[in-house]
Structure 1
Amino acid sequence: MMLPTIRPGRPDEYDEIARIWMESWVSTGLSQSSERLLSDLRARLPREVAGGWSLFVADDRGTIAAMLALHRPTSLLDQLMVAPSHQGRSLGRHLLAFTRRQMPDEIWLKCVRENEKAWRWYEREGFVFEKEAINPATGFMMKHYRWKRAKVA
């Protein structure tokens, strides 16, 4: 199986990217699909890009299979969302390898504490738990993780 191509997301794709974002988030069981959630995510995309996000998509022969949002100035992997139809195919690992090429020395991320599947995956991928803190915008307790490139002796 050929992995999707990772490329920059385009403004004309924001509706589709927001849909993938919502479907992936809903697949965690932490939220319900709704027009309001989709509308909020659609509105958030251009704001986040204007605020410094580097937005990428995984393009599976013309179908957006995942979205990835990086904030390089703070070494933050802000969003890694894989469409449910593409989960379980190593796409997350492919996106994480891409992220490590973009930010090779250090990566920070936050993960909702109740999303155990995600944070356990990040731990298996070498991320180290740093702290927990409430996200004031969402009210979710967030687990903060950090990955640092191993020093070569």
Structure 2
Amino acid sequence: MMPDFTLRPYTAADENAAIELWRRTWAQHYPHIDFDARVGWWRARWRGELVPACDIIVAENYGALAGFVTVDPKTQYLDQIVVAPEHWGSGLARALLDEAKRRSPSGLYLLVNKDNARAIAFYAKHGFTYDGEDKNPVSGIAVNRMRWRP
């Protein structure tokens, strides 16, 4: 059953909620990492790198931020797709991914942590294929590069 959510463009008023959603979601997936300590770094990256370059679409569920996707249509890079844990498996991630594809119709690529089997399976299910090894440009962790071509 699809939750009641709406997609809309990001506004500056969404910043705190988006950053908290990022922190909470990543902390749920990687509980051994202190994401509280990374919020300042993430806020600087959000403001300095993602907001200026990316189309950011947020999903709201009854007025609360439930997810977002960041995609740079110029480079075709999907940097983030974040869905609140309580909405995992709900169809919200697919809706955000479909919106990213709509905004970058000639293709998309992304980097995904090799240990994130759930995300790898999700992207494969939605038409992404393995496109080689890479390294996360921030953490240096080995990742899979995945690509979607229409």
- The residue that corresponds to 2:105 in the other structure is 104
Unaligned runs of 5+ in 2: none
Contact 2:111–2:134 (8 Å) recurs in 1: no
Task: Give the structure-1-normalised TM-score.
Answer: 0.88
In the TM superposition, residue 103 of structure 1 has moved relative to its aligned partner by 1.4
Unaligned runs of 5+ in 1: none
In the TM superposition, residue 85 of structure 1 has moved relative to its aligned partner by 1.8
Task: Give the structure-2-normalised TM-score.
Answer: 0.90
Compared CA separation, residues 115 and 69, structure 1 to 2 (3 A)? same
RMSD: 1.7
Contact 1:111–1:142 (8 Å) recurs in 2: yes
How many Å separate the matches in 2 of 1:34 and 1:81?
A: 14
The sequence identity of aligned pairs, in percent, is 28
In the TM superposition, residue 123 of structure 1 has moved relative to its aligned partner by 0.9
Deviation readout 1:20-51 (Å, 9 max, x if unpaired): 11122222226534432222222221112354
Moved more, 115-124 or 48-57: 48-57
Q: Which amino acid aligns with 1:81?
A: V
* 1:25 has 2:29 as partner: no
Q: Counterpart of 2:89 in 1: which secondary structure?
A: coil
- The residue that corresponds to 1:37 in the other structure is 38
How many Å separate the matches in 1 of 2:92 and 2:51?
A: 26
User: How many residues matched?
Assistant: 149
